[in-house]
Each structure stands twice: as C-alpha cells, then as structure tokens.
Amino acid sequence: MTSSVPSGFLMPPSNFLRTNAASPSIAHRLADAHDLVALLDIDATALNDAWKSLGGTEKFIPVACDVTSEHSVAAMAARIAGLEQARTLVNNAGAARGFPS
C-alpha cells in the first residue's frame, strides 16, 4: 500500500485514534503520517487480530473499548492519557453493524 502523504511533508508529532479497529486499513494508511495509532474496538479478539495484522508493533496501541459504556470510555482514556494530543480521529464505531430494516 502506498502512502498518500507527500514526500518531504513534515507533521508535528501526532497521534491517531481509530474506532472499529477490526478493519485496520485506514490505520495502516495513516500510520505513515502519525507517530502512534490507538486502535479502539469493542471486540478484544478482533482488536488483537487487527493489531497483529498491522505488525504488532508499539506504533499501534490496541485498546478494547465499548464507546456506549461510560466506564469503558473512562478506562480507555486512562490507558491513553500519557499520549500526546490526538490530531486525528476516525470514528467508525458501529458502522459495520448496519441499520435495522
């Protein structure tokens, strides 16, 4: 996969948060432009599989999180609190589940 980040483009240190990490393609593309990528997903098994498919490196931080649970979101926030400011958020939570007919 080739990067869409222009050659020579300098970005200050930044972090990227990605919900619905079970589909890691966006995280993979944006990893070239960000220092850390926090992967958030309600499904811990799918999250771990996505992390492994991205190389299982420290650049990607897998965090199980149910964004509908205040407790789960608080735990996620505590886990990533030491990171620099997030500059990008892709919020896809629930997108794969579709809509009721």
90 vs 4, residue with greater confidence? 90
Domains of the chain: 15-92 (3.40.50.720)
Give counts: helices (H), strands (E), the chain: 3, 4
Which residues, other chains included, contact 9 with Cβ-Cβ below 8 Å and sequence gap of 6+?
33
Spatial contact of 22 and 46, defined as CB atoms under 8 Å apart: yes
pLDDT at 11 over 60: no
What tens digit of pLDDT does each residue of 42-89 get?
A: 889 988 988 898 899 888 888 898 888 999 989 988 888 877 777 777
